[in-house]
């Protein structure tokens, strides 16, 4: 049952379209996924996979699929080949026009759908800061960044205002995919219906204004800010943007877009792209002192690279205890930040050897390693459960792949390929 005051607001807003809007709640559930361009492309995927996919009109890498396909259960999902994402949500990240080499902040990032889409446009170059205030949701975000094989992301967990001091005028682009009253989730999520109230809409609008203030302070002059919600309320959308523009004459509105569930095949979204005029100074306090971080090569890591890898890594080495990470060159100072992931996790430095991490496997392609071991989807299903395989070859680390997509590590000893898929992720 949809809340009566919500229906009255929609009737008033939509006028002659109201009946069509109401009828959209009777339609069948829509399923969609977005290919991860860091790992595949449309052509390659169509060649490898025979699912019936229909393109999402506003996203080159988005597709509708039939409910019975269950892509969430296929090993491709664990390989990060796609992200299951609501179709209208795919319209937002392209508006940032993210480019390799830029410094980009996704301020309300969990679980990471839009972050991973931004990352695919950045092609592993530049700095993507993914922030999520709630610690448990930040952990899910961090796992998704790993699964999608993203190399250049820093994952942190802060209230937006806590970041202002460090990052004043720092970012080229910022996405605020704001917490909202979630009216676009009503078809999928019963709790969004139960939580709805006019008071909650007003509370969300207030919170959105506050988050936007922080974003405005962290954006460079000449930078772009994209604001989005999955709700239909003017108070949380056009009115939030209008009052922001009144408070901030240095911003101009470039584009406002609404996707309505009765007009497109999707649950609905609002987005506004804003441009900040030149003139703001970059006064970020987060400059990293080169000497503060170890940049020397670690012997165990260098030996691992020489023995197993065929690719070079660009970035800054960061060590947390015995864990080695490779962060983007543009990494800010981490002091005072609650960091979940300071870049690509390479692995663990043991006394006499290097143990590669699961994140490294997911970020590598078979052509970037010296040894790989291919599995069919059926075999991959067993690998994900922890099964070992018999194999022949030189002993040592092998990148395990499914149809050419990396899935994890195996270590050959004798004729047994030991399974190094993380125990906590096993199916
Ligand atoms: N961008 C995400 C994606 O595409 O997967 C979805 C983000 S969701 C719409 C909004 C997020 O904002 C939630 O993860 C929520 O925990 C977070 N949030 C809640 N309160 C917040 C606050 N006061 N400041 C910043 N973020 C907040």
**Given 3.40.50.261, 3.40.50.300, 3.40.50.10300, 3.40.50.150, which CATH number is that of 88-283?**
3.40.50.150
> Could you name the CATH architecture of 365-427?
Roll (2.30)
Q: CA-to-CA distance for 194 and 308, rounded, in angstroms? A: 53
pLDDT at 252: 96
Q: CA-to-CA distance for 344 and 151, rounded, in angstroms? A: 5
Q: CA-to-CA distance for 330 and 304, rounded, in angstroms? A: 25
* CA nearest to 170, candidates 216, 123, 226: 216
Residue 408 · residue 320 · CB < 8 Å = no
pLDDT at 293: 43
Task: State whether the Cα torsion 260-208-206-139 is positive or negative.
Answer: positive
The question of whether 49 is a catalytic residue gets the answer: no
- Ligand 1 centroid to Cα of residue 385, in Å, is 32
pLDDT at 329: 87
**Nearest CA owner, ligand 1 atom 9:** 179
Domain residue spans in the chain?
Answer: 88-283, 291-327+345-363, 365-427
Tally the residues of the chain. Answer: 427
Going by the DSSP 8-state scheme, the letter that residue 317 receives in this structure is: E
Radius of gyration (C-alpha) of the chain in whole angstroms: 23
> What phi and psi values does residue 262 have, to the nearest 5 degrees?
-90, -5
pLDDT at 292: 42
Burial of residue 385, with CB atoms counted within 10 A of its CB: 0-12 exposed, 13-18 middle, 19 or more buried: exposed
Q: Average pLDDT per run of 10 along the chain, which is 427 residues long?
A: 92 94 92 98 93 95 93 97 98 98 98 98 97 98 98 98 93 97 88 91 98 96 97 97 96 96 96 87 66 59 94 87 91 90 95 94 97 97 97 97 98 97 94
**Nearest CA owner, ligand 1 atom 18:** 179
Q: Which of 110, 139, 155 has most ligand 1 atoms within 8 Å of its beta carbon, as the pocket-test mutant?
A: 110
pLDDT at 212: 98
Q: CA-to-CA distance for 303 and 241, rounded, in angstroms? A: 53
Q: CA-to-CA distance for 159 and 133, rounded, in angstroms? A: 5
């Amino acid at each position: 049952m949809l809340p009566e005051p919500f229906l009255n607001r929609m009737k008033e807003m939509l006028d002659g379209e109201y009946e069509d809007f109401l009828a959209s709640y009777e339609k069948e559930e829509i399923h969609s996924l977005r290919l991860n361009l860091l790992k595949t492309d449309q052509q390659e995927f169509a060649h490898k996979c025979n699912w019936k996919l229909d393109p999402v009109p506003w996203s080159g890498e988005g597709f509708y699929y039939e409910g019975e396909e269950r892509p969430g259960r296929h090993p491709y999902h664990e390989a990060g080949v796609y992200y299951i994402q609501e179709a209208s949500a795919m319209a937002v990240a392209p508006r940032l026009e993210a480019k390799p080499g830029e410094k980009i902040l996704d301020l309300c990032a969990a679980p990471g759908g839009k972050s991973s889409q931004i990352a695919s446009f950045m092609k592993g170059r530049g700095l993507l800061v993914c922030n999520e205030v709630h610690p448990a949701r930040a952990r899910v975000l961090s796992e998704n960044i790993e699964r999608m094989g993203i190399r250049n992301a820093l994952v942190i967990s802060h209230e937006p205002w806590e970041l202002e001091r460090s990052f004043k005028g720092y970012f080229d682009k910022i996405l605020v995919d704001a917490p909202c009253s979630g009216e676009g989730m009503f078809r999928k999520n019963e709790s969004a219906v139960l939580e709805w109230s006019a008071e909650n809409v007003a509370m969300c609008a207030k919170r959105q204004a506050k988050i936007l203030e922080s974003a405005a302070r962290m954006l460079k002059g000449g930078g772009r800010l994209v604001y989005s919600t999955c709700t239909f309320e003017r108070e949380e959308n056009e009115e939030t943007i209008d009052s922001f523009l009144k408070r901030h004459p240095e911003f101009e509105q470039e584009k406002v877009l609404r996707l309505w569930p009765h007009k497109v095949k999707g649950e609905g979204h609002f987005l506004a792209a804003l441009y900040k005029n030149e003139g703001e100074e970059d006064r970020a306090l987060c400059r990293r002192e080169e000497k503060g971080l170890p940049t020397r090569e670690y012997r165990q890591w260098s030996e691992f690279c020489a023995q197993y890898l065929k690719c070079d890594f660009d970035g800054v080495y960061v060590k947390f205890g015995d864990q080695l990470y490779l962060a983007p060159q543009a990494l800010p100072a981490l002091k005072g930040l609650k960091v979940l992931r300071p870049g690509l996790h390479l692995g663990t430095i043991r006394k006499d050897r290097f143990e590669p991490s699961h994140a490294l496997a997911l970020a590598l392609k078979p052509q970037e390693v010296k040894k790989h071991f291919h599995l069919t989807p059926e075999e991959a299903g067993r690998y994900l459960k922890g099964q070992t395989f018999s194999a022949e070859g030189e002993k040592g680390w092998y990148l395990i792949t499914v149809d050419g997509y990396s899935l994890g590590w195996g270590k050959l000893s004798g004729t047994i390929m030991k399974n190094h898929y993380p125990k906590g992720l096993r199916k």
